[in-house]
Structure 1
Amino acid sequence: MGWEQANAECNWTYAEYSSSSSSGDGHTWVVTIQCGNGGICSEQVECNEDGAEGFVHDVYMDGTDVGDVCVPAEEVDEVNITQLIIREFKSIKWPASRLVVQPPGGKTLVNFETNFYTLDNAAITQVRTIARQAVSIRAVPTSYTFQFGDGSSTTTASPGRPHPDLDVTHVYTQKATVAVSLDTTYTGEYRIGDGDWLAIPETLTVAGAASDLQIVEALPQLVIR
């Protein structure tokens, strides 16, 4: 959407909005930046009012959308930018962690300490342009929920470790075929340009795909020498 189109749709001037929101009329006034791509807001709707470039915002009075206003770029406060970054953090398809089970091969034994872990424990950074600024968004895996498939699970800050350094294990008590999986919870951080890293006050959990694990009994065998 171009500036002229956006400007034509803004039925409030910024001066009118500022006057109403500060008038003490008993109403609660809020503006929220408007998105041009379905609410993700990696593409904000630009506008131009009396030569001042800005971004289109929805105007809410007591929770009801009452129109649009072109907010000058220098007036778009940090709260709005943070909201955009949170939306972007939640919209990015962060990867699921790959679950490794030992013993390998999709089988384990009854009453045996089965080991679970993932090697996917590194922070991941993606760069987005938000409100005309380069923003680095980093997802840090901070907790893992191991779903053992028999109705039990455990959540830990550890990604587990491969044999022989067992860390996340589970003992199955009966024969069965279960679906095991791993959910990863990411904590977000961001920085604008080369600024300091700041915390995103929300987490995001990515569910891993389930895989079958067969639990079998070890049968004694007679060996004739």
Structure 2
Amino acid sequence: MTHSWLVAPDGQVLQENYYCPSEGESVAAPVVITAGMAAQALRQVDLPASVLEVQPPGGRTLVNFETNFYTGAEEFERTVRLLGQRVDLRIRPALFEWRFGDGTTSRTSEPGAPYPDLQVTHSYLRKGAVAAAVDTTYEADFRVNGGPWAPVAGTVTIPGVAVGLDVVTATPTLTGYR
């Protein structure tokens, strides 16, 4: 007897069949999970949006000042069921697109770093309110039932939540002079 079922990414059984082949009839080969099927599963996994960190903190920066941007991003794993098979996804951030809110962007393969490392910086040329964000593109590998890892076909980009930032000018003031 052959028992087959189709399971949705949320674990719900969508279809279930039992089949008993006649004598001399062969049973179909097991279903193969492809890189494209794994890509579809990756698109259905709840991938986190990166949280943008800005330095200096407090939602303010200066015109013509190197403002520092970074985010925390680490590899993680998720397990889904596809066509009755256990599929492990090893997911990692591969690309970060920094949107600085003034019409300029930058792409890096690194998540930036807090001060003093300053890997992703931007100087604003005008004062005003901006909304900066970082979009994260994830890539993944998959394996079926604990087998060897293989690359998932394609990537998934998750847009980041914008962080408000006031860009202000500073006027130097001489103090303590007589």
Q: Under a length normalisation based on structure 2, what TM-score does the superposition of the two structures give?
A: 0.84
For 1:113 and 1:215, locate their aligned partners in 2 and report how far apart those are by CA, in whole Å: 12
User: Could you report, residue by residue, the CA deviation over 1:154-204 in whole angstroms, capped at 9, with x for unpaired residues?
Assistant: 011011111111111101011010000010000011111221111001100
Q: Does 1:115 align with 2:85?
A: no
Taking every aligned residue pair, what percent have the same amino acid on both sides?
37
User: Could you report, residue by residue, the CA deviation over 1:51-102 in whole angstroms, capped at 9, with x for unpaired residues?
Assistant: 15xxxxxxxxxxxxxxxxxxx66342344xx443222111111001111111
Which structure 1 residue ranges, 4+ long, deviate > 6 Å from structure 2? none
Q: Under a length normalisation based on structure 1, what TM-score does the superposition of the two structures give?
A: 0.68
Give the corresponding residue for 1:185.
Answer: 137
Higher percent of residues as helix: 1
| Conservation of the 8 A alpha-carbon contact between 1:139 and 1:189 | yes
In 2 relative to 1, CA 73–160 (structure 1 residues): closer, same or farther, beyond 3 Å? Answer: farther
In 2 relative to 1, CA 132–78 (structure 1 residues): closer, same or farther, beyond 3 Å? Answer: closer
| Conservation of the 8 A alpha-carbon contact between 1:102 and 1:114 | yes
Secondary structure of 2:41's counterpart equals: helix
What amino acid does structure 1 have at the position aligned with 2:82? I
2:113 pairs, out of 161, 164, 170, with: 161
Secondary structure of 1:86's counterpart equals: helix
Secondary structure of 2:155's counterpart equals: strand
Give the corresponding residue for 2:55.
Answer: 102
1:46 pairs, out of 16, 26, 42, with: 16
Give the corresponding residue for 2:174.
Answer: 222
1:77 pairs, out of 4, 15, 32, with: 32
For 1:224 and 1:118, locate their aligned partners in 2 and report how far apart those are by CA, in whole Å: 40
Higher RCO, Cα 8 Å, sep 6+: 2
Q: How does 1:1-225 map to 2 (within 5 A)?
A: 43-49=13-19, 51=20, 74-79=29-34, 82-120=35-73, 122-224=74-176
In 2 relative to 1, CA 158–46 (structure 1 residues): closer, same or farther, beyond 3 Å? Answer: same
Structure 1 vs Structure 2 CA RMSD: 2.4
Larger-Rg structure = 1
For 2:143 and 2:14, locate their aligned partners in 1 and report how far apart those are by CA, in whole Å: 19
For 1:187 and 1:150, locate their aligned partners in 2 and report how far apart those are by CA, in whole Å: 28
Give structure 2 stretches of 5+ with no counterpart. Answer: 22-26
For 2:103 and 2:48, locate their aligned partners in 1 and report how far apart those are by CA, in whole Å: 25
Give structure 1 stretches of 5+ with no counterpart. Answer: 7-33, 53-71
